[in-house]
């Protein structure tokens, strides 16, 4: 690979920004009219500013704006001709709706990962599997209502909650809703765009029997843990293969879930699988509306739920979600949306590298990109062979400096 493939006239940050199609930005801007009555700090400028803040890890408005001013020359490659003052950015975070950034995120997911498709065409359960859960981001004051009880002094920290649906085989959030932390997880179930034949796994917090019943009617298959106080009536015992029994399946039953005396709940036949975990030395009870998969597959599907916990840890550890650049709900939601966009862009780069049989851990990839945001080197070839790219970049810089010295000397 020659030098031309490694050296490029744009910094890595500019190449990351170019992964966002301008057509998506125009569609978002037109849909929410987010540039109406705006003279200088447009939606595009706002997005680049917040992405820079997220990728660099800025902890305050002053740190962000001074960093932008010092990097103004290099930021021209991004098309950012206006570097905002603190008051301008603060006003934009308060007035420009966070929904425009959520729109951009979901459009990017559909652009790079067409995942919300006909699940009946999937070849394996993992290709059809979605995981839902939520994570709470604690705030220092009650800007957004937090969950839990008040302290003795009558105060309670606020919190934002990100409700996420993750595509298991892609390890990316495909649908996100950001609310106050006090909102119950069950509400998220109403918004999920699920196709016939999908599998979805969740914990015991998602217990809306009416939605579970509707999913069953739509042939959306779900797997969850049995609640301790769930109303369960056994109907019959289902057969277990010797192989599944050796793997830890203790019992498989058809049961009826729900009370007929309660008009608010739906009574439905489900499957109850009891599984013994040798490592943890305890029994687990799983419920599902799918009677076609094996008993052990039910346990394996629920085990995939841990994947979303890893994603939450990745999001919080690689993005500055402890420090917020605004004291209002809209500013907080903008920062969360942009963190999700940054996470998605790095995942896109990671997937492209995997196509070249080059595997990176997310944390190493994110850290290397953060260190070289303003390095003028081709992102793809740099990540395929970082040492070679940086060496050739250094050689090119040395030659350029030598030519400049000889020119000035003459």
Indicate the SS3 state at residue 330.
helix
Instruction: Please give the pLDDT value at position 21.
Output: 94
Interatomic CA distance for residues 160 and 183, integer angstroms: 9
- Let me know: does 132 contact 198? Beta carbons within 8 Å: no
Interatomic CA distance for residues 372 and 16, integer angstroms: 12
What digits encode the pLDDT tens for the residues 182-207? 899 999 999 998 888 899 999 998 98
b/e burial code for range 207-240 (CB count within 10 A of at least 16 → b): bbbebbbebbeeebbbbbbbeeebbbeeeeeeeb
Instruction: Please give the pLDDT value at position 139.
Output: 81
Q: Rounded to two decimals, what is the model's pTM?
A: 0.86
What digits encode the pLDDT tens for the residues 336-347? 999 999 999 999
Instruction: Please give the pLDDT value at position 152.
Output: 47
Q: Which residues of the chain have pLDDT under 50?
A: 1-3, 116-118, 152-154, 397-410
What digits encode the pLDDT tens for the residues 56-99? 988 889 999 898 888 777 777 677 767 889 999 999 999 999 99
Instruction: Please give the pLDDT value at position 389.
Output: 63
Instruction: Please give the pLDDT value at position 9.
Output: 67
Interatomic CA distance for residues 159 and 140, integer angstroms: 8
Interatomic CA distance for residues 271 and 256, integer angstroms: 8
């Amino acid at each position: 690979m020659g030098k031309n493939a490694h050296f490029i006239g744009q910094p890595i940050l500019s190449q990351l920004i170019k992964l966002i199609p301008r057509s998506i930005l125009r569609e978002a801007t037109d849909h929410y009219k987010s540039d109406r009555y705006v003279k200088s700090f447009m939606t595009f400028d706002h997005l680049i500013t917040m992405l820079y803040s997220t990728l660099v890890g800025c902890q305050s408005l002053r740190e962000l704006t001074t960093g932008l001013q010092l990097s103004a020359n290099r930021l021209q490659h991004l098309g950012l001709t206006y570097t905002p003052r603190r008051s301008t950015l603060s006003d934009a975070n308060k007035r420009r709706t966070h929904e425009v950034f959520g729109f951009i995120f979901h459009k990017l997911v559909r652009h790079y990962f067409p995942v919300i498709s006909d699940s009946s065409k999937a070849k394996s359960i993992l290709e059809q599997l979605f995981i839902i859960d939520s994570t709470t981001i604690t705030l220092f004051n009650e800007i957004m209502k937090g969950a839990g009880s008040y302290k003795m002094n009558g105060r309670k920290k606020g919190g934002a909650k990100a409700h996420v649906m993750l595509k298991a085989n892609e390890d990316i959030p495909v649908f996100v809703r950001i609310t106050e932390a006090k909102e119950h997880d069950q509400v998220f179930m109403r918004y999920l765009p699920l196709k016939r034949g999908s599998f979805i796994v969740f914990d015991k917090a998602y217990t809306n029997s009416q939605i579970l019943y509707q999913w069953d009617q739509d042939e959306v298959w779900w797997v969850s843990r049995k609640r301790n106080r769930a109303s369960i009536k056994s109907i019959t015992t289902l057969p277990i293969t010797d192989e599944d029994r050796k793997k830890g399946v203790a019992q498989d039953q058809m049961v009826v879930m729900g009370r007929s005396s309660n008009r608010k709940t739906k009574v439905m036949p489900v499957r109850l699988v009891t599984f013994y975990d040798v490592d943890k030395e305890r029994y687990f009870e799983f419920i599902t509306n799918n009677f076609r998969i094996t008993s052990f597959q039910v346990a394996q599907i629920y085990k995939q739920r841990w994947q979303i916990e890893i994603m939450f840890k990745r999001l919080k550890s690689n993005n500055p979600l402890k420090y917020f650049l605004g004291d209002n709900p809209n500013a907080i939601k903008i920062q969360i949306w942009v963190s999700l966009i940054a996470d998605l862009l790095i995942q896109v780069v990671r997937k492209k590298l995997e196509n070249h049989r080059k595997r990176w851990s997310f944390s190493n990839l994110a850290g290397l990109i953060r260190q070289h945001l303003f390095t003028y080197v081709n992102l793809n070839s740099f990540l395929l062979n970082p040492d070679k790219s940086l060496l050739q970049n250094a050689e090119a810089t040395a030659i350029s400096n030598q030519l400049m010295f000889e020119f000035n000397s003459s």
